[in-house]
Amino acid sequence: MSWFKNIVRTCHTVLIDIKAFLHRQRWKEALIFFCFVLLSFGFWLLQSLQQEYETDMSIPIRYTNVPDDIIFTNKIPQAINIRIKDKGSALLNYTIGQKFRSITIDMTGLSKESGKFTVDKRYIEAEVQKQVLATTTLYSIEPQAITLRFGMRKSKEFPIVFQGNIQTEKGFLVSSDIQISPSRVTVYASDSILDTIQEIKTVYTEIKNGKKSITRVVALEPIEGTNFETNNVSVTIPIEEYTEKMLSIPVTVTGVPVNYKIRTFPQAVEVACNIPISRFKELTEDMFTVEVPYAQLEENVSGSIDVQVTKKPDWVRYCHVSPAKIEFLLEQNTSFK
């Protein structure tokens, strides 16, 4: 218990020192001074909030039901700028309390033949008045009316490509192609913009420590001046645990003239490959081909040549051939006449 007594004694000593400091005359005078400063600031703030001020505010605009097959040819206003006058307390409320809501411009019923869509002054004023207090004086609204000019877009379908980085845990790999649904998207834009597009990419997506298949809804990377038929796609990344399988594959020499025959040493090579555990039994030797073109043998004077796997299933990863080089013997076919 001695350590506990020491802690209690230390705390008691600290409390005594604090009390002694607070009872000093200078501390009392400083505390009284700060209280008067704080009180004066409070009175000043209350008085300031009762005075009237002018200020500029901004109300965002939200456009809804915009047809995908039109393109705006003029700059679209993104906010309504207003100048108002009111007491400081009301203006403070606009800033940190009652935030302005977006003014919605619904483009339902737009006439595509006219080439323009107009939002009149009365509608904008009515929407602004709904959001300001009765005591607030509204001096100006800019713009007072909105005219949206547009032309017809062209459309074209493009493939969607996954953009990102996939990191799996040790012993796991992406087992097959990444599936994107839908795999293609219709893009609306002017002819000049459509001509510059080859594919549509998803936003950059990073997967870490993957050890099972993952499905995510991923946004498409926007392109200025375009509209997409859909802005999000479903991306499925197949991830499986991998294992190694060894196979003995015979070496085939292709393009050998009928008056020659080729002997290779060895006649077969060992192929080690990483495959998903779920497909271990499915993988067989006849799914692989190890070939050497005869033309390469003719050009080779060392008597040994590299071999490579020329056919394998798409889901097989990281094939390693052993030995990587084989020796060969070119003989004339005596049976050929």
Confidence of residue 32 (pLDDT cuts 50, 70, 90): low
pLDDT of residue 2: 46
Transcribe 307-324 into DSSP letters.
-EEEE--TT-EEEEEESS
- List the structure tokens of 76: 């679209």
- List the structure tokens of 163: 């953009």
Strands ordered across the beta sheet of 116-119: 70-72, 146-152, 116-119
- What distance in Å separates the CA atoms of residue 319 and residue 310, rounded to the nearest whole number? 11
Average pLDDT over residues 221-233: 88
Residue 35 φ/ψ, nearest 5 degrees? -65, -40
What b/e string do you get for 12-44 counting C-beta neighbours within 10 Å, with b at 16 or more? Answer: eeeeeeeeeeeeeeeeeeeeeeeeeeeeeeeee
Q: pLDDT tens digits, residue range 133-166?
A: 777 778 888 888 888 888 777 888 999 999 999 8
What is the pTM assigned to this prediction?
A: 0.53
pLDDT of residue 4: 44
Residue 86 has pLDDT above 90, yes or no: no
- In this structure, the number of other CB atoms found within 10 A of the CB of residue 219 comes to 13
pLDDT of residue 33: 59
pLDDT of residue 327: 80
Residue type, 40: S
pLDDT of residue 134: 76
pLDDT of residue 160: 95
Q: pLDDT tens digits, residue range 177-209?
A: 899 999 999 988 878 888 899 999 999 999 888
Q: DSSP state, 77?
A: P
pLDDT of residue 136: 77
pLDDT of residue 260: 77
The dihedral region occupied by 222, where left means phi > 0, alpha psi between -120 and 50, and beta the remainder, is beta
